[in-house]
Amino acid sequence: MNSWDQKKFSLKPRARGCYLVTDEVLSNVPEICTYTIGQLTLFLQHTSAGLTLNENWDRDVRKDMSSSLDRVVPEGDFYVHSDEGPDDMPGHVKSTIVGVTLTIPISNGKLCLGTWQGIWLCEFRDYEHTRWCVATVNGLKEAP
């Protein structure tokens, strides 16, 4: 039977950096295990953070990604929008580059992530923020 589940949940507050949040997502969306085939769509409800899939093992990759994004989109007095501080407008630009939505296939109750793939939260602000995510799962569920 084709089914849909949707829920909104918060991710642990974090300051600037890239964080592996796969386990945090799975603990907040246990419904995934009831789908034999389907997809998970994650949508981050923010404009200065992002979601992406990347390295799930070596923490250095997350550090390098964060510093690389800081070099690609530097802070500076050349932005017009600066109401929320010098990290705000660069955060908006990085969010546009990285994106705020992921769609991941589900097979036999598990996310079809590659061996070295994990779900990352990329936080672009210095101050720790609580970020809200909407998870939508759709597909075929196991028969009751």
What are the DSSP calls for 10-74, one per residue? EEEEE-SEEEE-HHHHHHH-GGGGGEEEEEEEEEE--SSEEEEEEESS-HHHHHHHHHHHHHHS-
Three-state secondary structure call for residue 93: helix
In this structure, the chain runs to a length of 144
* Span 80-128, pLDDT tens digits: 998 899 999 999 999 999 999 999 999 999 999 999 999 999 999 999 9
How far is 51 from 132, CA to CA, in rounded Å? 12
CA distances 16 to 12, 37, 91, 142, Å, are 13, 35, 10, 40
Residue 12's pLDDT band (cuts 50, 70, 90): very high
Task: Kindly report the backbone phi and psi dihedral angles of residue 82, in degrees, each rounded to the nearest multiple of 5, phi listed first.
Answer: -145, 20
Domain boundaries of the chain, sorted by first residue? 2-141
Residue 24 and residue 130 in contact, taking contact as beta carbons nearer than 8 Å: no
How far is 144 from 136, CA to CA, in rounded Å? 21
Closest CA to 20 of 48, 79, 72, 61: 61
pTM higher than 0.85: yes
Adjacent-strand bridge partners of 38 = 106, 139
- Does 49 score more than 80 pLDDT? yes
* Span 120-134, pLDDT tens digits: 999 999 999 999 999
CATH for the stretch 2-141: 2.60.120.460
